[in-house]
A and B are shown apart, each in its own frame.
Chain A
Amino acid sequence: MLGKMTKQMLTGNASIAWGVRLSDVDYIPAYPVTPQTEIIESLSKWIREGQMDAGFVTMDSEHSMITAAGAASATGVRVFTATSSQGLMYGFEMLYTVSGWRVPFVMANVSRGLSSPITLEPDHNDILAARDTGFLQIHCETCQEALDSILIAYRLAEDKSVLLPAIVNMDGFYLSFTREPVEIPNKEIVREFLPPYKPTHAFFRASQPMAQGVAVLGGHIYSYFKYQMHMANNNALSIYKEVSEEFKETFGRGYGTVEGYMLDDAEYVLIMSNSFSAMGKAAVKRAREKGLRIGLLRLRLLRPFPEEDIREALKGRKASAVIDQNISVGKGGILYSEIAGVLYNEKQRPLLLSFIGGLGGKNISDAEFDFIFDAMMNAYSTGNVPQPALLYTEAELEEMERLKRVAGKG
């Protein structure tokens, strides 16, 4: 049932805020950081105007903010919070801590490159640093997807076979400040999909004393609880499929764990994530017009990592190239390593190329995409896979040389 829906021009930030508003969230501990701040400003305004019945508190840091979010969730309310880059790093200790509390709140991360050098523009070193924490991770390409993913994230996180916090990620500036037409679903219909929060697991109350977050002595106890988290996170894979199916039935739009674009008959596959995938899709379309059989695989659910779906999507391809919008300094692209791990035991696997691109929001031009396509085809025909490379144009290098001269280092 689709019901009456309205479409509005919304930024990515406003889309997230709308997702939260529709989710019957009870409590929002917050802390400002660009480019996320518009989310918490919108929510705070709605609460002050009486359009949302939730508590809102500006904390003294993201470390405190994530603590308060986890503690409130452990007490039995539905919680949302948001951060970005430096803020995520500042609260990092608590990411591991609260996921160990098994508290199902949702946090938005608006990706932004990490200092230093300090910058405002996006890449994914912030969010990928959190990949081992226990949080579920959904990465978005569009504003509509950002709104919808908040609803999906609560369903996933709160499922009793999961009970882990979830992060919905989107790119700063490219999505956070970009306006797109977004369908704001009807609240009554959202309630059918995501009913108000009535947790049945343990939480603090006088008649039911509980010790939460207690210490353990001994590796066998620690291992047991850690691995429980791993299994719960993996449970979210099958739950995701049920939930996204139900989402599609309810709202008429669906999202897989991964998204294929012009993939069906593709011989070569570009692998990307988040909003820069839109540039990749445009490049794939152009390549198709030239008769090249290229497609794109966008990674959406990053934790749990949908290994089976990735393997399936890459089966029978000639070559594939990962554009990592991140850099593990001293190693290279993070997602490249993860995908290589997924493919290693396949008898017939595509060649896998690695590119680092879009760091700190650097544009990826048509020429750079064409370069990648050529590299994939060349690798297949010669059997030689090129070394991992940074996407960087000559014009950009010249400009950099000029700036260095200005800085007196020419």
Chain B
Amino acid sequence: MIKSIKDLTFEEQMLPGTPACAGCGGLLALRHCLKALGEKTVIVNAAGCFTLLCVYPFTPFKSSWLYTAMACAPAGAQGVRDALNILIKKGRLDEKEDLKVVVLTGDGAAYDMGLSSTSGAIYRNLDFYYICYDNEAYGNTGFQSSGATPFGSKTGTTLPAELNPLGSELSKKDLFEIWRSHKPPYLATISPSHPVDIANKFKKCEGIKGPKLFIAHSPCPPGWATEPRLSAKFAKLAVETGIWPLKEALYGEVKHTLIPKKFKPVEEYLSEQGRFAHLFKPIRQEEAIKNIQERVNRYWK
């Protein structure tokens, strides 16, 4: 376990120069995850923003990459993992050539379309990592609401309007609990604002065979209507307000890895983001803001 960012490795697995937006929180989270995972990985990706990290003939990764389709990255991981095992068992591949298999998807794939293939992979106890960068909407198609979109968020398909001033009236699914109900050996939430926590969580599950699952809260400047330079701040505020709890579950037992000493009011997190601006002006939607605060209070009680 490390204590400070000074203890993070300088070694990078993803090199600069990707086509992701400036201030992409997901990319920052991914960078820290890959630092922890090291060089011998194959990333199996589903359709989303990060599909465009590898555009012919370039790749920012030192390791391997396989783009599948939106619903089935965990199934791709199954094929790669099983094939590597078979090749090693049959003596056709040196064990030194083995790779960690890492699924990388957005929340749209993770919370919605890819649930069947993810559920299958966890059920089969597939030895893999899953990194979901959760920007709380379908980002690559221009930020429409997904199963991860929080209550009150404006998206391309939940515009606050006269008949519905709230934006999204539905609540974010609890993917952590959906995954946990499958009893994977390890799962965790992470945030790009807490790289030490990320490094320690990867360390903790190192060597565990089976699914190791990570949900990264991921500020998304164009979708959240925030300034690129403030992404780390919003990621941090989400943790400090209690909206994004940092936790892990080792063999099902949930533990919070950071409990804020004093919770900031959710308003601090919400009010500066364009996607929640309609909750504050032209008319302050007191009920909605209260509702969001109460959800957080209920969670931490």
The chain A residues found within 8 Å of chain B, CB to CB, are 26-27, 29, 53-55, 57, 59-61, 63-65, 67-77, 79, 93-94, 97, 198, 204-207, 209-217, 221
Contacts and interface: CB of A to CB of B under 8 A. Distances in A.
Given A27-B86, A76-B93, A94-B69, 15 more contacts: A26-B86, A57-B82, A60-B75, A67-B69, A67-B76, A68-B76, A72-B79, A72-B82, A73-B83, A74-B79, A75-B79, A76-B92, A79-B83, A212-B64, A212-B67
A215 B52 contact: yes
B97 A59 contact: no
Interface stretch (B54-62, B177-185, B190-198, B279-287): B54-62
9 contacts: A53-B90, A54-B86, A57-B78, A63-B72, A71-B78, A94-B69, A207-B96, A212-B67, A213-B68
B247 interface: no
Contact of B61 (A53, A79, A211): A211
A27 B83 contact: yes
B72 A67 contact: yes
Contact of A69 (B56, B66, B79): B79
Which 6 A-B residue pairs are closest in the complex by CB-CB distance? A71-B79, A60-B120, A64-B75, A75-B83, A68-B79, A72-B79
Nearest to A54: B86
Nearest to A209: B64
Contact of B55 (A70, A77, A198, A214): A214
A26 B88 CA distance: 12
Contacts of A67: 68-69, 72, 75-76, 79, 117
Contacts of A60: 75, 116-117, 119-120, 123
B85 interface: yes
Given A26-B86, A68-B78, A70-B79, A212 B65 contact: yes
A26 B85 CA distance: 11
B51 A215 contact: yes
Contacts of B61: 209, 211
Contacts of A55: 82, 85-86
Contacts of B255: none
Contact of A59 (B39, B65, B99, B120): B120
> What's the dominant secondary structure at chain A's contact region?
mixed
Contacts of B54: 211, 214-215
Residue among A59, A65, A72, A206 facing the most chain B CB atoms (10 A cut-off): A206
A207 B117 CA distance: 29
B84 interface: yes
A209 B72 CA distance: 22
Contacts of A61: 116-117, 120
Contacts of A204: 42, 64, 66, 80, 84, 99
B29 to A, nearest CB: 21
Given A60-B119, A64-B116, A209-B61, A71 B76 contact: yes
Contacts of B82: 27, 29, 55, 57, 68, 72
B66 A205 contact: no
A259 to B, nearest CB: 35
Contacts of A69: 79
B64 A71 contact: no
A57 B80 CA distance: 13
Interface residues of B, number: 47
B45 to A, nearest CB: 8
B63 interface: yes
Given A204-B99, A205-B99, A64 B83 contact: no
Contacts of A53: 90
Contacts of B93: 76, 205
Given A59-B78, A63-B75, A71-B76, A212 B83 contact: no
B112 interface: no
Contacts of A205: 93, 97, 99
A336 B52 CA distance: 41
A71 B59 contact: no
Nearest to B39: A206
B117 A211 contact: no
B2 interface: no
B67 A213 contact: yes
Contact of A215 (B39, B56, B97, B99): B56
Contacts of B86: 26-27, 54-55, 77
Contacts of A79: 83
B90 A72 contact: no
Contacts of A54: 86
A206 B69 contact: no
A214 B90 CA distance: 30
A201 to B, nearest CB: 14
A71 B56 contact: no
Contacts of A206: 39-40, 96-99
Contacts of A64: 72, 74-75, 78, 116-117, 120
A387 B96 CA distance: 66
Of B71, B79, B83, B98, most A-chain CB atoms within 10 Å: B79
Nearest to B52: A215
Interface string B95-121: 011110000000000000000110110
Contacts of B230: none
Contacts of B69: 67, 93-94, 97
A121 to B, nearest CB: 28
A261 B44 CA distance: 49
Contacts of A207: 96-97
A214 B61 CA distance: 12
A376 to B, nearest CB: 46
A75 B75 contact: no
Contacts of A216: 55-56
